[in-house]
C-alpha cells in the first residue's frame, strides 16, 4: 500500500481567505466560548481551509489575539466617537469609559488583551488618544494627564479582568447560572466566623447577586471624583 506521506495540498479544494475574514471568524469563536475556543484548528475548519494558512496572516497566536482585539475595538471606537459632547470633560470621560466597559461586558475575553500592544492595536491607541483628549481640557500638567488616563483605563481593565474570569465552566455550559454561582460563594462567606470576618459579613448581602456594572460604575465614580478634585473643576 502506497504511503501518502508528505504530499501536502493534494486532493482538497483550495480556499482563499483575507485578513478580514480571518479576524471575523476568530472573533466569532471568541464570542462563542472564550479564548480557549480560539484554536488554529477550529479557526481553520471555520474558514474551510488548512491550519497553516492562517500563519500567512498572523505570525502567531499572540498576534492573532491582538489583531482580533483591535478588530472589535474599532467598532467600539466608532461608538465612542458618536457620543455627544456635554461640555464637561469629566462627564465625557465617564460616558466613554462606560461605552468601553459595556463592550467588555459583551465580550469578556477582551479584558486581558485590550491595550496590550499599541503597535499592532491601532484602534486601541486611537481609543487611548480619544480618552486623553478630554484631559487636555482639564487644568492639569502632562504627568497628571498621563496618570489620569492610565487610572481610568486601569479601572476599566481591572473591573473587566475581575469579571472576565470564567466561572469554572458550569456557567459556560449553562448548567449553572451566574446567580447561583455567586450565591454559592456568598453562602460560603456567610458560614465564616463573624468575629474573624466582620467586614465580609457586613457586605455579603451586597455581594450576593450584585451587578458588575454597578460595581464598575462606583469604582469609576471614585476615580472621576478624585480627578475633578485634582483639576479644581
Q: Residue count at the site for DNA (CB under 7 A)?
A: 33
Measured distance CA(78)–CA(123) in Å, rounded: 10
Q: Which of 232, 225, 224 is nearest to 94 (CA)?
A: 224
10 touches DNA (CB under 7 A) = yes
Of a second copy, DNA, none, which one sits near residue 61, judging by CB under 5 to 8 A according to partner kind? DNA
Contact 98, 146 (CB under 8 A): no
Helix (H) or strand (E) holding 178: helix 178-190
What does the block give as the cell for 50? 488548512
Residue with smaller CB distance to DNA, 6 or 119 = 6
Residues 45-80 as b/e (b if ≥16 CB within 10 A, e otherwise) read eebebbeebbeebbeeeeebbbbbbbbbbbebbeeb
Measured distance CA(131)–CA(226) in Å, rounded: 17
Task: List the one residue from 95, 98, 171, 219 that touches a second copy (CB under 8 A).
Answer: 219
169 touches DNA (CB under 7 A) = no
14 touches DNA (CB under 7 A) = yes
Residue with smaller CB distance to DNA, 59 or 175 = 59
Query: In 3-state terms, the chain is what percent helix, strand and coil (to 5)?
Result: 70, 0, 30
69 touches a second copy (CB under 8 A) = no
Of a second copy, DNA, none, which one sits near residue 6, judging by CB under 5 to 8 A according to partner kind? DNA
Task: List the one residue from 42, 171, 200, 213 that touches a second copy (CB under 8 A).
Answer: 200
Measured distance CA(70)–CA(227) in Å, rounded: 28
Contact 66, 204 (CB under 8 A): no
List the x/- string, 169-198, binding to a second copy by CB under 8 A.
Answer: ----------------x--xx------xxx
133 touches DNA (CB under 7 A) = no
Scan for cell 474599532, then name that residue. Answer: 74
Task: List the one residue from 51, 125, 171, 182 that touches a second copy (CB under 8 A).
Answer: 125
121 touches a second copy (CB under 8 A) = no
Residues 20-40 as b/e (b if ≥16 CB within 10 A, e otherwise) read eebbebbbebbeeebbeebeb
Residues 24-63 that bind DNA (CB under 7 A): 38-42, 44, 47-53, 55-57, 60-62
Which residues contribute to the site for a second copy (CB under 8 A)? Answer: 112, 115-116, 118-119, 125, 128-129, 132-133, 135-136, 142-151, 153-159, 161-162, 165, 185, 188-189, 196-200, 202-203, 205-207, 210, 214-215, 218-219, 221-227, 229-230
Amino acid at each position: 500500500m502506497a504511503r501518502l506521506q508528505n504530499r501536502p495540498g493534494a486532493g482538497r479544494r483550495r480556499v482563499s481567505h483575507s485578513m478580514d475574514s480571518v479576524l471575523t471568524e476568530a472573533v466569532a469563536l471568541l464570542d462563542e466560548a472564550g479564548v480557549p475556543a480560539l484554536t488554529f484548528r477550529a479557526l481553520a475548519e471555520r474558514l474551510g481551509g488548512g491550519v497553516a494558512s492562517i500563519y500567512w496572516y498572523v505570525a502567531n497566536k499572540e498576534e492573532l489575539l491582538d489583531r482580533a482585539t483591535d478588530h472589535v475595538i474599532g467598532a467600539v471606537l466608532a461608538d465612542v466617537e458618536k457620543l455627544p459632547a456635554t461640555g464637561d470633560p469629566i462627564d465625557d470621560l465617564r460616558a466613554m469609559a462606560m461605552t468601553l466597559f459595556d463592550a467588555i461586558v459583551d465580550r469578556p475575553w477582551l479584558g486581558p488583551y485590550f491595550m496590550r500592544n499599541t503597535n499592532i492595536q491601532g484602534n486601541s491607541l486611537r481609543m487611548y488618544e480619544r480618552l486623553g483628549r478630554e484631559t487636555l481640557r482639564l487644568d492639569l500638567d502632562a504627568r497628571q494627564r498621563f496618570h489620569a488616563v492610565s487610572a481610568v483605563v486601569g479601572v476599566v481593565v481591572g473591573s473587566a479582568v475581575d469579571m472576565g474570569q470564567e466561572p469554572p465552566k458550569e456557567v459556560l455550559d449553562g448548567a449553572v447560572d451566574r446567580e447561583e454561582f455567586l450565591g454559592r460563594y456568598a453562602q460560603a462567606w456567610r458560614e465564616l466566623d463573624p468575629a474573624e470576618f466582620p467586614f465580609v459579613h457586613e457586605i455579603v448581602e451586597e455581594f450576593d447577586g450584585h451587578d458588575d456594572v454597578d460595581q464598575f460604575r462606583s469604582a469609576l465614580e471614585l476615580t472621576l471624583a478624585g480627578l475633578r478634585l485634582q483639576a479644581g473643576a
